[in-house]
Structure formats: C-alpha cells, structure tokens
Amino acid sequence: MKINCFSHRMFNTSTPFSPIKLPSQMETHLWYALPNEVKSQSLLNQYVDLLSPLEKDHIFSISALHLQKSALLARALVRTTISRYQIGSQVNPRSLEFRKNPHGKPEIGIDVEDKQRTMKNNILSFAKRYFTFEEVELLSAISDPEVQRHEFIKLWTLKEAYVKALGRGFSGAPFSTFTIRFRSVNPDSEDSEIVIVPLEKPSELTTNWQFAQVELAGSHYAAICRESNGGGAPMKVVVRKTIPLVEEHIVSEID
C-alpha cells in the first residue's frame, strides 16, 4: 500500500471553489471534516442556508447540540463537495437532490469508528456474539490486547461498510452471515485484498465489491465498500480533509 502526502490549500469564502475532475472508475474520493474545527456561528448559518427543508427539519429535530452540529456539517460537506465535481456545468449546492435505494441508503458503504472505542465486555466475547468463527479465530491469535482491540475495530468497520453498501442494515445482513477474509495478492509480497465469503444466502450477500481501509486524523479508522469495476485492479483512494467553504487539503493517496 502506497501513501503520498500533499500540501494544503486555503480558499476565500467569497469566491467559488475550483472544480474537481470526476474520479475514474478505479478511484474513490473520501472527504472528511472535524466538527471541533468549525467554530464560527456565521459559517454554521451558511451551512443551514444550503440545506433542503427536509434536511433542516431533520437537523433541528436533534436535541443534543454536538450531534446537531455534526449532522449539519455532514450535509454541508456533501453538498459543497458534490457541487464542485465537473459534470459539464457549475452546480449550486442548494440545487442538489439525492436518490436513495429502497432501504433508504446510497449505493456505497462507508463506516468510521474511533480508534479509542472501548467495549464493556471482553473483545473476544463480544466478537463471538457477532463475528464468524474464522474471524474470531483470527482475533484469538493476537496476543497483544491493544493490537487485538484495534484489529477488532478495523474488522468491524469493514463489516459495517459492506452491510451499508448492500443497503439492508444489520438486521438484513447480520455480521455472522459472512466472513471478511484477507487474501494474499502475491506470494512474494505482504499485500492482500479484502474479500467477502458468504456463509448464508449467497444470492443476496453478493461478492462483487471492493474494499479500502484508511486512518483519519490519527484518531479514526474508516472502511469503504463499493461495487467492483470488474477489472480486478485495486481501488485507489484519495483522502481530502476540509472545512466546507473555507479550506481543504489532500491528506493522502492510497493504492
């Protein structure tokens, strides 16, 4: 896995951001923002102005202020980012309309988990409740408790991302019905690819998906699951950190 780091760019909020070229079939762009870096009430008000009436109703129905802010930032991030991609003409972030599948989810899966996430129960006891025998065996072979905890969290994000990509939720695709397996790409290297092994309902738990896993801001693990392009080439992930309408920078490119 190759990671390249790049410099950071600032933008004037009074001018539109430069357009971005659409990713190729081999690429996935991951954008993220940190709520604690957005401190301006004026900027938050600008974000509210970007939203649809339905989105505003949802945001203001959230009673906890920190969760309300995170939800607002998420919607602003989606709108300001998508509107910048080159699709033949400039797009106003307010004009975007979003399509969901019959389960209310977009046709891609991503999950983000805090690296410091703790479990009330023993890691292996918790894993036995939700993971497959093969996955529990993989975790059992790790003697260092801290490494084991991190590997558990990474495995959890991969399973969550897959379930979200299917769009059926945990009840529609329980974690125990499929195994996440790391398969060697080349006997002469340590590189591996992530594959799905269905244990039940193979016609529903499809395997034509690609995965990538990245670390965000040194504090979170993120897993991405998207439909395979059929060419067999690995997914390239470009990670950008941003404060919508203020600044952005490319954090890494991962092959």
User: What is the number of alpha carbons within 13 Å of residue 130 lying toward its C-beta?
Assistant: 20
106: how many CB neighbours lie within 10 A of its CB? 14
pLDDT given for residue 207 in this prediction: 76
Reading the chain (255 residues) residue by residue, the pLDDT tens digits are: 333 333 344 444 334 467 888 888 888 999 999 999 999 999 999 999 999 999 999 999 999 999 999 999 999 999 999 888 866 566 677 776 666 666 555 568 999 999 988 887 799 999 999 999 999 999 999 999 999 999 999 999 999 999 998 887 766 678 988 999 987 656 555 667 888 888 887 777 777 888 999 999 899 999 999 988 666 677 889 999 999 999 998 998 887
Q: Which sequence spans correspond to the domains of the chain? A: 101-228
Beta carbons within 8 Å of 16's beta carbon, 6+ residues apart: 90
pTM for this prediction: 0.79
In angstroms, the CA 208 to CA 232 distance is 10
CATH topology of domain 101-228: Ribosomal Protein L22; Chain A (3.90.470)
Q: What's the pLDDT at 118?
A: 82
pLDDT at res. 173 = 77
CA–CA separation, 243 vs 11, rounded Å? 10
